Amino acid sequence: MKTLLVTGGAGFIGANFIHYWLKKYPDDQLIALDALTYAGNMENLAPVQDNPHFTFVHGNIGDQLLVESLLEKHKVTTLVHFAAESHVDRSISGPDEFIETNIIGTYSLLKAAKQVWIDTPASKGEKPISHRFHHVSTDEVYGTLSATDLAFTEQTAYAPNSPYSASKAASDHLVRAYHHTYGLSVTTSNCSNNYGPYHFPEKLIPLVIINILHNKALPIYGDGMQIRDWLYVEDHAYGIDLVINKGLVGETYNIGGNNEWANINIVKAVRQLIEKAFIDDQALAKKYPDAQAAIAQNTESLITYVTDRPGHDRRYAIDATKTRDELGYEPRESFETGIAKTVHWYLNNEVWWQAVMNGSYRDWVEKQYVSN
């Protein structure tokens, strides 16, 4: 039985990771630490709110004393670090929070982990506490590929192009340095684009679904031919599980879906699934009366080409050979089933995304859940 501290546990991937972990390891204890920024949502954790193996703490990863006290009080031996500012467009319009959370926040977490797991025992003449600091990173640190370049491996040189990816790259380097310099037991995973339930609707796939349901334009940056490698979020959680349990300390592992799509084709796949859902289920037209293009089977008309994202990376592709060969990792969800599940999740969970859109969940959070 382990106790894990999961930072960013109220975000998209952190919450999915918590659901995955408690299902697979029901005897473990999970502590989620989250600052509940605009991207954090207690509703993402509603399925585990009554689970005695789960505790939520409202706090900032930059609060070193809080993190130290959590590691000590709960005898945490595994820290899984998801907390970050994660949206590239926001990093372009306002990089400050990205530097603060992704770089300084990660640095603070590393200091707390070193203090509790290495320095405090040493001050008592004891050996370090056996531990793991797992850092969740992104394929964006490797920069951009042309259509014919080989996919990113763990040896690909870092070449981040946005304030977001630069801040993630800096955090990856700090994690590496804390291993080499101080002996902190770290692993890092660099993953491709995730999709699935609880995905915040500023990101491409949920944005397209929700805009179709409101009959709003589907904004396509530039020519729409940028390529991303899409992975169902539960498969990311599975990959992290393997890295934590089987990965070697000090190593980095790429996690990807082997599933490259041009943005315009992802949008087409989502459009077609929604149109089919409206044919299969007549009740959807009543539930979503604004969705005129979906009702008329003409969602293509909503596509609107807009000014490109500055510095937009053309293509990401992950070579996950190392993770497959050393850890036995293969994604378990096909894109066909994963995207269908995702579209249906949004069609069935309008209460979740309506609340996210109008921010009303915040008052409720303050009343219901938040505790230290």
Active-site residue set: 139-140, 164
166 binds ligand NAD (CB under 6 A): no
Stretch that binds ligand NAD, among 68-76, 188-196, 295-303, 314-322 (CB under 6 A): 188-196
* Closer by beta carbon to ligand DAU, 113 or else 204: 204
C-alpha triplet 44, 45, 51: angle, nearest 5°: 160
168 binds ligand NAD (CB under 6 A): yes
What is the arrangement of strands in the sheet containing 29-34, beginning at the earlier edge strand?
54-58, 29-34, 3-7, 78-81, 132-138, 186-191, 252-255
> Least separation, in Å, of the C-beta of 29 and ligand DAU?
28
Measured from each CB, the residue nearest to ligand NAD is: 11
Q: How far apart are CA 48 and CA 18, in angstroms?
A: 8
Interface with ligand DAU (CB under 6 A), residue from 228, 236, 271, 324? 228
**Which one of ligand NAD, ligand DAU, none interacts with residue 219, CB within 5 to 8 A by kind?**
ligand DAU
**Which one of ligand DAU, ligand NAD, none interacts with residue 60, CB within 5 to 8 A by kind?**
ligand NAD
Which residues, 6+ apart, have CB-to-CB distance to 207 below 8 Å?
Answer: 201, 218, 219
- Give strand ranges (E) for the chain: 3-7, 29-34, 54-58, 78-81, 132-138, 186-191, 193-195, 218-221, 227-232, 252-255, 260-262, 303-306
Stretch that binds ligand NAD, among 8-16, 208-216, 268-276, 346-354 (CB under 6 A): 8-16
Interface with ligand DAU (CB under 6 A), residue from 102, 215, 263, 323? 263
108 binds ligand NAD (CB under 6 A): no
By the 8 A CB rule, do 44 and 13 touch? Answer: no
Interface with ligand NAD (CB under 6 A), residue from 4, 20, 45, 62? 62
Stretch that binds ligand DAU, among 1-9, 112-120, 216-224, 362-370 (CB under 6 A): 216-224
Residue in this structure with the two tokens 């031919």, named with its chain if needed: 225
> Least separation, in Å, of the C-beta of 86 and ligand DAU?
4
Distances (CA, A) of 29 to 78, 236, 238: 10, 20, 18
294 binds ligand NAD (CB under 6 A): no
Residue 270 burial (10 A CB sphere; 0-12, 13-18, 19+): buried
DSSP string, 105-124: IHHHHHHHHHIIIIIHHHHT
CA nearest to 5, candidates 14, 190, 127, 40:
14
Interface with ligand NAD (CB under 6 A), residue from 4, 5, 6, 12? 12
- For residue 186, give the 3-state DSSP assignment: strand
Interface with ligand DAU (CB under 6 A), residue from 44, 83, 107, 140? 140
172 binds ligand DAU (CB under 6 A): no
Interface with ligand DAU (CB under 6 A), residue from 45, 76, 169, 207? 207
Distances (CA, A) of 82 to 30, 219, 276: 14, 28, 35
* Closer by beta carbon to ligand NAD, 12 or else 352: 12
Q: How far apart are CA 31 and CA 214, in angstroms?
A: 37
Chain residues binding ligand DAU by CB under 6 A are 86-88, 138-140, 192-193, 203-204, 207, 219-221, 226, 228, 263, 309, 316
Question: Could you list the residues that contact ligand NAD (CB under 6 A)?
Answer: 7-8, 10-14, 34-37, 39-40, 60-62, 82-84, 86, 101, 105, 136, 138, 168, 191, 193-194, 200
